[in-house]
Structure 1
Amino acid sequence: MGAVQRCFRTKEEMLVFAQEHVNQRGTERARARIAESPEPGSVATVLEQTLVAMLAVDDEDLSDARVWMAFTAQAVVDPTLAAVQRGHYAGLAELLVTLLRAGQQDGRINPEVDATSEADALITLADGLTVQVLLGRHSPDSALAALRRQTAVLWT
């Protein structure tokens, strides 16, 4: 207890640190999956693997997804945690918009796709599928298939 109190002045600081740590772990897993893929530089790979990192497709993902959901529940009643989560989602949305627009510029994504709206829809889909996996309604494989079906409609 003393060691924790020396590192963080308040419980809220500790929770923010932990929340940011879980987010960073997801980012690192996405980067690793991108690097290991056959086409690590393609817009399609980066887009898919960024979204897959949000899903609970393996044990490490499941563990972090459970923690993220706990933070989400706490953020509903804690404005500081809510602000941190909004910041994470804003960064994710910005990345997805950038990827979608890059895909439009290189002719791989339908030019009529509204990148901002689609980015928000993809985040919502990935979050919803994560909840469904955690509840046992979807398996990791069926969630991944659902995500891939939805992103497939983007490509020209």
Structure 2
Amino acid sequence: ERGLDGATMREIAAEAGFANGALKPYFPTKDRLLDFAFEHIFSQTNRRMEAATAGLSGLRALRAYCHEILPLDDERLSEARVAISFWQKALRDPAKAAVHERSMAQWREVLAELLRDAGLPDHADPDAAVGAIMDLVLGAQITATLSPAHHTAQKLVDPLDCRLGALVEGSAA
């Protein structure tokens, strides 16, 4: 509830169903635990993306890929909370910032490929299109985490659909 920064290692261990001190050999600090948690949620998201896009192509594949980043359910909302905690630390920690950048570079690369397959017009700037999608899905993680009652799944999906349609159709909506 209070986030990783507000919790003690004892509280984190208890929430995970472990005795106090059980995590210490693996994660001597909350910072190390946060590193692991971010890498874990990134891997989980990538696995979901792969499964969600299997057998799909075009706009359907692009949309399915993006849905796995959006906090559309409790699991993804919890993952967004971890990501936000990690980003806060990455602002002051170059090693964390580098981990984040590597992770986002992977997503940008896949998004560029999916956009091409979905029919991004030749005149469109692929980097700008990828940036628009990344800004939308990562921004949605922040807004949904801060006000989840207002940002229902449909309220997160509608702007994504609007943006994807505009990009593929070549308009500036």
Is the shorter-chain TM-score for this pair beyond 0.5, marking a shared fold?
yes
Q: Does 1:155 align with 2:172?
A: no
Q: How many residues align?
A: 148
Of 11, 14, 18, 2:37 maps to: 18
Please provide the CA RMSD for this pair. 2.1
Q: Whose helix proportion is higher, 1 or 2?
A: 1
Query: In the alignment, residue 154 of structure 2 is paired with which amino acid?
Result: D
2:35–2:86 CA contact under 8 A, matched in 1: no
Give 5+ residue unaligned stretches, structure 1: none
Q: Residue 96 of structure 1 corresponds to which residue in structure 2?
A: 111
User: When the two structures are superposed, what TM-score results if normalisation uses the length of structure 1?
Assistant: 0.82
Tell me the secondary structure at the aligned position of residue 117 of structure 1. helix
Query: In the alignment, residue 125 of structure 1 is paired with which amino acid?
Result: L
1:133–1:140 CA contact under 8 A, matched in 2: no
Give 5+ residue unaligned stretches, structure 2: 1-19
- Taking the aligned partners of 2:162 and 2:100, their CA distance within structure 1 comes to 27
1:109 deviates by 2.6
Compared CA separation, residues 135 and 8, structure 1 to 2 (3 A) = closer
1:102 deviates by 3.2
For residues 80-91 of structure 1, the aligned pairs below 5 Å read 80-91=95-106
Query: In the alignment, residue 152 of structure 2 is paired with which amino acid?
Result: S
- Taking the aligned partners of 2:27 and 2:72, their CA distance within structure 1 comes to 32
Of 122, 131, 136, 2:133 maps to: 122
1:122 deviates by 0.7
1:33 deviates by 2.3
Compared CA separation, residues 132 and 12, structure 1 to 2 (3 A) = closer
Write out per-residue CA displacement over residues 68-105 of structure 1, whole angstroms, 9 at most, x where no aligned residue: 111111111221111100110111111111222333xx
- Taking the aligned partners of 2:128 and 2:79, their CA distance within structure 1 comes to 27
Of 47, 50, 53, 1:31 maps to: 50
**Where has structure 1 moved over 6 Å in runs of 4 or more?**
none
- Taking the aligned partners of 2:30 and 2:159, their CA distance within structure 1 comes to 38
Deviates more, 1:143-152 or 1:14-23: 14-23
* Paired-residue identity, %: 30
Q: Residue 68 of structure 2 corresponds to which residue in structure 1?
A: 53
User: When the two structures are superposed, what TM-score results if normalisation uses the length of structure 2?
Assistant: 0.75
